Structure formats: structure tokens, C-alpha cells
Amino acid sequence: MLPQNINVDDIASHLHHSDLYLSPEVVKIYGEETTSIQEHYDNILNGTTAPHISEDLGATKIVVYPGVMRMDETRDLAQALKSKVDANTIIVQAEGIPGIISDKLTRGQIQDTQYLMVNSFHPAEVETFINTVHGTDLNYGTVNAIVLTLTALAAIFSVAFTRFFGGQNRT
């Protein structure tokens, strides 16, 4: 459920023109540092400090909102925004647990790494999350091929072993 004080349409409208939304409250909190914080987020989104962002997350939008939000609230906000903007991944960063919705990341990848952004709305945590998630995907096609190959080899060796040693025990 979304908090009542959040205007999803307003945030989505902003995200149509930008990959980053800093709420007015966040801008007040950052004060004079807002420009450098915004530049840090821009460097993450353009791949300068998170070089694998487009490969791992695809088109990404980040929403930074202050205040404590429950996990279901940040996730629901991310989902609502995902349905309104063109992006593969939406990250809602707030105090508390972030909300992440992605076409490119698995649920396991998100759950294993989202703790890196808990209780913070600073860009360094998003950067760490993105750089940590790189290379955490498991290629199940390769895993299945290896398991199938090992099973086939075990069957071949089992047949060979049985024929070789099975024929010697006859008297």
C-alpha cells in the first residue's frame, strides 16, 4: 500500500524526463550538498561509477524519498512507477528497506543485496548495490548442461564398470 502523501503521477511525470527523482524533502535535507549528491547519482546512472549498470539493470530510474517507509510501501511505489515509466529497473531509496522492481534482476539477486541500501538515502549505497549485484546472476542453462554432462558420464562409467568387472566374476 502506498503512503497517502506520495503523488505517484507527479514522480512518474518527472521520471519521463530524468532518471533521478529527488523529493523536495530530500533537497531540503541535503541543502548545499544537493548538487554534488545529484552529480553522484548521475555518475551512477551514466555508468561512470557503476560501469555495469546498463548490462545488469537495463534502463534504471532512481527515486529518493526521505522518511521511514516499510518494505511493502517502497516496493509498491516502485511497482506503481514501473507501470508508468519506461524502465527495466526502478529503485526507491528511503530510510528503511528500499523497493526494487526489475525485469533484469531476479528476486534472489534483489533480496541478497538490497540490505546494502537499508536505512539510507545516500548515492554511495546505491552505487555499492549496483556494483555488488554485478556477476551475481546464475546461468541456469550452464548449470543444467553441467549436471546433464556429469549424469551422462556417470552412466557411461557405470555401464563400463559393470561390464568390465561383472564379466570377471563368472566361474
pLDDT (0 to 100) of residue 62: 96
Distance from C-alpha of 165 to C-alpha of 146, rounded to nearest angstrom: 28
95, 67 contact by CB (below 8 A) = yes
Distance from C-alpha of 147 to C-alpha of 132, rounded to nearest angstrom: 27
pLDDT (0 to 100) of residue 150: 83
68, 94 contact by CB (below 8 A) = yes
Query: Which residues of the chain fall short of a pLDDT of 50?
Result: 138
pLDDT (0 to 100) of residue 36: 93
93, 117 contact by CB (below 8 A) = yes
| Long-range contacts of the stretch 99-103 (C-beta < 8 A, 24+) | 99/69, 99/71, 99/73, 99/74, 99/75, 100/75, 101/75, 102/57, 102/58, 103/58
pLDDT (0 to 100) of residue 17: 94
pLDDT (0 to 100) of residue 140: 52
Look up residue 30 and give its three cell numbers: 541535503
State if pTM tops 0.95. Answer: no
